[in-house]
Amino acid sequence: MITGGQRSGKSQYAERLALNLSENPIYVATAHVWDDEFRKRVENHQQRRGKQWTNIEEEKYLSRHDISGRVAVIDCITLWCTNFFFNRGKAEWEQPTVDEALDAVKNEFDRFTSQDATFIFVTNEIGSGGVSDNVIQRRFTDLEGWMNQYVASKADEVVLMVSGIPLKIKGK
């Protein structure tokens, strides 16, 4: 698991790690493209990776994809959790609770990682700042923090990225 703040170098570090482990890694993009600015970010990520990458775009159900025997970067847990937290097209009263969303993401994580593969999960440390005055943001920060803890507990290694510098906080 690679974690850190925005623009800390998480994705590039994860990509380098994957390329050190495989000549043809998989990149699993979990983002929902919300607007043109975000679409440009996605395009920049895609251009940075070469043709040796297999790209999979999957917003929720990662376990639909058989990646057995492969090395995969999953970018990222934060956007993946967002897709479980917000049910687009539903009324606010139909939104899942934090516990329901967390259970769904954990279950999908467990199904996906039951494959014999090497997984490199990228995530954000969104709870490192102050407490938001927005109830939705506080709920999402709880979901993200609990999911990060869950993934970190299962990971062999956890790396914290700070200003482009990897700091190993768990593992070899």
Sequence-distant (6+) residues with CB within 8 A of 63 are 108, 111, 112, 114
The two tokens of residue 126 are 């969104």
* 7 vs 129 pLDDT, higher one: 7
Are the C-beta atoms of residues 141 and 120 closer than 8 Å to each other? Answer: no
pLDDT tens for each residue of 39-97: 888 788 777 788 899 999 999 999 999 999 999 999 999 999 999 998 655 555 566 78
Q: What is the pLDDT of residue 92?
A: 57
Task: Give the model's pLDDT for residue 89.
Answer: 54
**What is the CB neighbour count within 10 angstroms for residue 51?**
6
Per-residue pLDDT tens over the stretch 129-148: 778 888 888 999 999 999 99
18: which residues sit within 8 A by CB, 6+ positions away?
25, 27, 71, 72, 73, 120
pLDDT tens digit sequence for 145-161? 999 999 999 999 999 99
Kindly give the pairing relationship between strand 71-75 and strand 54-57.
unpaired
For 129, the 3-state DSSP assignment is coil
Query: Cis omega (within 30 of 0) on the bond before 81?
Result: no
Phi, then psi, of 6 in degrees rounded to 5: -60, 140
Average pLDDT over residues 4-19: 94
Q: How far apart are CA 25 and CA 39, in angstroms?
A: 23
Q: Per the residue annotation, which of 32, 45, 106, 139 is the catalytic one?
A: 45
45 is catalytic: yes
- 67-101: b (≥16 Cβ within 10 Å) or e: beebbbbbbbbbbbbbbbbeeeeeeeeeebebeeb
Q: Which amino acid is at 147?
A: M
pLDDT of residue 134: 83
Write out pLDDT tens, residues 17-44: 999 999 999 999 998 887 899 888 878 8
Structure tokens at 108: 């999908």
The percentage of the chain sitting over the pLDDT mark of 90, rounded to a whole number, equals 70
- Measured between alpha carbons, how far is 118 from 68 in angstroms, rounded to an integer? 9
